[in-house]
Amino acid sequence: MGNKIVDCIGLYCPVPIARAAEEVRKVAEGETVTVLADDPGVENDFPNWCRVTGHELVSLEKVEEGYRIVIRKRSPGT
């Protein structure tokens, strides 16, 4: 299983969500996408986006450079 990393350091809403959505579309169900971001808005944006889209928010952690968000792709309705 692959793990795509999306570097969004220095980018602000809505770019981290838009880039994550683009990469999640490209991976297979069950694979993960890791987003690196320093926009504090991601703390609210990613949990909400995952709830709306049905993808799993595996983790959202504060790290030295900002935030590391891991999303697992899910099919609608799973």
Catalytic (active-site) positions: 13
The SS3 of residue 31 is coil
Contact between 37 and 62 under an 8 Å Cβ cutoff? The reply is no
Report DSSP state, residue 28.
P
The SS3 of residue 9 is coil
